[in-house]
Amino acid sequence: MASATPLLKDELDIVIPTIRNLDFLEMWRPFFQPYHLIIVQDGDPSKTIRVPEGFDYELYNRNDINRVLGPKASCISFKDSACRCFGYMVSKKKYIYTIDDDCFVAKDPSGKDINALEQHIKNLLSPSTPFFFNTLYDPYRDGADFVRGYPFSLREGVPTAVSHGLWLNIPDYDAPTQLVKPLERNKRYVDAILTIPKGTLFPMCGMNLAFDRELIGPAMYFGLMGDGQPIGRYDDMWAGWCTKVITDHLGLGVKTGLPYIWHSKASNPFVNLKKEYNGIFWQEELIPFFQSVSLPKDATTVQKCYLELAKQVRAKLGKVDAYFNKLADSMVTWIEAWDELNPPKGGVATANGPPKK
């Protein structure tokens, strides 16, 4: 049952990027209405986006982004769902949940509607176990625990920075896989939550994602994609790779698995192939880069880590394509803009001690 008082009601914003009327919110009303929404309108700012009555929201279009950020607005993508990260920047809440407007309420195997937001919150409020894998998955869930042989010194876990949810129906496939499996649908509901081990990267999908903004927010930059850029559909994955390297360094956790949403429609694989074409080649260089990234010990905040990462992106990936020099510049601009809107309060808590000042 849903809580009488919604969890984290005054501590969480829901961020939605869109180019269309948000009729899909009607389905989510029982779960989303108590929360504040930040809607980031992509594309033509003169278009009016209709939001169903009864929701507490603020809406930003491209004109608003330019007004708030000035010249630094160049770091926010245009005509791409990567624009959602502007919502992360202007939020004043501790937690963020972001969802795409083609994601509907899924049902569990018993036929009950899944409150995806509530499950994400539970994931974020319980620890992660990145340093040693528990074969019963998340040991903090009801009915589970640490198995025999799990070190007692690691059973407290570490703070969870990211909760990565999944999708029923349309899987999150790349264009080549879409083309060879046009009718494939994900019908498997796996009742599991895993901590992604330290040192392991993963392809993060932004359509059903929650994170602790105070722990990892500045790393959640969805890159420079879309209009005028040579790549698209890698925005969430770029953020995921950067975030995972930084959470590993700071001793934080990332969970994946529950909750599921119902992904209602497949995007055009031919359009997707145009967007992904360079990325499909570049990722063969990107993954080894992120696997080998080393951050210095004095990088004790997310911002310091991210600026160091930008420096390494320029030095090593700039040789792959000049785009990565531009991306490195935008990563720096993003952090500058973040700090202007969110003056540091003192530091980031780590798993190994008090907040670093």
Amino acid (1-letter code) at residue 43: G
The whole-number average pLDDT for the span 273-291 is 97
The pLDDT of residue 346 is 57
Its pTM stands at 0.95
Evaluate if residue 81 carries a pLDDT over 90.
yes
The whole-number average pLDDT for the span 333-353 is 75
The whole-number average pLDDT for the span 195-213 is 98
Which pLDDT tens digit goes with each residue over 109-118? 999 999 999 9
Q: What percent of the chain has pLDDT over 90?
A: 94
Which pLDDT tens digit goes with each residue over 150-176? 999 999 999 999 999 999 999 999 999
The whole-number average pLDDT for the span 306-319 is 98
Task: Please identify which residue in the block is written with the tokens 């930040």.
Answer: 38
The pLDDT of residue 353 is 38
Q: What percent of the chain has pLDDT over 70?
A: 96
Residue 53, burial from CB neighbour count under 10 angstroms (0-12, 13-18, 19+): exposed
